[in-house]
Amino acid sequence: MGAKNAIVVSAAADPAEILRAGLVAEPDSARRAAERRLPGRVGQRLADLPLADAVNPRDAVYAGAFDGLEIVCAWEVVNGRGTDYPDGCPWVGPYRWTYLHVMQSAVDVVEFGVWDRGKLQRWVAASIEHGTAQEGEPLAFERPYWAGEYDVDHSAAPFHPMRLGEAALGALFGFVQEGAPDVDPRFDPFEVTLAGFALT
């Protein structure tokens, strides 16, 4: 799989139900959302991108601020934050729920998390080389993975991390990148547009 992403979302309700409306980011509010995550780092405007491409930004940040949801895609937002999330969420935004999703196909690593008003509900990290770490109770979509239904011989995890990552992307946000047999996307990520900005 070649999927990569770095996504942080703050939402008042189910992100997929909001994103599936075919939204187009307004640049000024998108800039404010990006500045919230990367203060002093958001530079000149870049060309907008569909969500499908914006999730893997290169030396840039892509963002959207919509009614009930903020989304920011930038590797700089997620890099170097550590994993001590039970003591607090570093990505709390203007809405009740905070979501994190990171995938790196080059090293077969996935990480995702869910917080309610800054309190950790679920966090998972999985690596094909180093196995898994987790906090909180598994979400419904995860259970077949932990039960061994997708076991693979060459992974230190009880499943291939990228397959779980696609399942998490579909369950949390309603879309996928490369897809998985057990994931039914709820909208086309090419129909949502995020505003782009250079990083300084």
* DSSP state letters, 18-55: HHTTT-B--HHHHHHHHHHHSTTTEEEEEEEEEHHHHT
Amino acid 1: pLDDT: 45
> What are 1's strand-pairing partners?
none
Residue of 31, 15, 22, 29 whose CA lies nearest to 95: 15
> What are 65's strand-pairing partners?
70
Report how far residue 155's alpha carbon sits from residue 55's, in angstroms, rounded to the nearest whole number. Answer: 25
The reported pTM is 0.94
Amino acid 93: pLDDT: 94
Q: Tell me which H or E stretch contains 99.
A: strand 97-104
Low-confidence ranges of the chain (pLDDT < 70): 1-2, 80-87, 181
